[in-house]
């Protein structure tokens, strides 16, 4: 795993707990308090509540190489929150649900973050040898096509506002 910023586990849990109005406290799952998931320039913590089967992902964009200024990270998180909100309104079922977030650096972890519903499953492996069976490859490609078609249908905007040349 690449080196990454550290965020105090109690503060990460406080982010999730603050999104509940019942006073219940979140706990880490999948050992992410000790080993957060680092993927795609993001650090991800998984949390649960004792009375709920749903798992939440607290995703913190890092961009540690310094190529993005804080204002760009803030803007990126705001845009992502807007997109996820819009996808939820359209009924697109394949994206995580936005539970909360903060695009500023003025919060308990002093960094922008998103709280999302956890997407269950395993990362797709696709190499010349995996999946080995052509039928399995075809099934996966069909599923990806269905997801893209669903996205296109859910996000299709009325073209009546555009003049026809």
Whether 109 contacts 123, CB under 8 Å: no
Note the pLDDT of residue 4.
56
Please answer whether residues 56 and 99 qualify as being in contact, where contact means their C-beta atoms are separated by less than 8 angstroms. Answer: yes
CB 48 within 8 A of CB 54: yes
In the predicted model, is pLDDT for residue 78 greater than 50? yes
pLDDT, mean of residues 14-35? 91
Sorted by where each begins, the domain ranges of the chain are 9-123
Q: What is the pLDDT of residues 107-165, one digit of tens each?
A: 999 999 999 999 888 888 899 999 989 999 999 999 999 999 998 888 886 444 555 55
pLDDT at 65 over 80: no
* 35, pLDDT greater than 80: yes
Give bridge partners of residue 55 from the DSSP assignment. 48
Which of the pair, 157 or 31, is modelled with greater confidence?
31
* Average pLDDT of span 49-55: 86
Higher-scoring residue by pLDDT: 55, 6 = 55
d(CA 46, CA 27): 8
pLDDT value at residue 51? 83
Q: State the pLDDT at residue 97.
A: 95
Cα separation, 147 vs 9, in Å, equals: 35
Report the chain's mean pLDDT, rounded to a whole number.
87
Architecture of domain 9-123: 2-Layer Sandwich (3.30)
* Range 44-60 average pLDDT: 92
From the number of C-beta atoms within 10 Å of its C-beta (0-12, 13-18, 19+), residue 86 rates as middle
On the question of pLDDT at 28 being above 80, the answer is yes
What was the pLDDT predicted at 50?
86
| Rounded Cα–Cα distance for residues 17 and 41 (Å) | 25
Q: Which residue has the higher pLDDT, 159 or 100?
A: 100
Tokens of 99: 């539970």
């Amino acid at each position: 795993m690449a080196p990454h910023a550290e965020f105090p586990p109690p503060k990460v849990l406080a982010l999730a707990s603050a999104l509940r109005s019942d006073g219940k406290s979140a706990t880490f799952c999948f050992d992410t308090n000790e080993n957060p998931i680092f993927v795609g320039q993001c650090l991800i913590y998984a949390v649960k509540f004792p009375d709920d089967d749903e798992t939440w992902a607290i995703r913190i964009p890092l961009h540690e190489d310094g190529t993005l200024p804080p204002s760009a990270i803030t803007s990126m998180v705001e845009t992502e929150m807007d997109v996820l909100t819009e996808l939820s309104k359209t009924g697109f079922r394949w994206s995580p649900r936005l539970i909360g977030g903060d695009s500023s650096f003025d919060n308990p972890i002093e960094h922008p973050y998103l709280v999302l519903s956890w997407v269950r499953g395993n990362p797709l492996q696709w190499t010349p040898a995996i999946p080995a069976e052509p039928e399995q490859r075809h099934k996966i490609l069909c599923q990806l096509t269905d997801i893209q078609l669903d996205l296109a249908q859910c996000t299709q905007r009325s073209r009546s506002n555009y003049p026809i040349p």
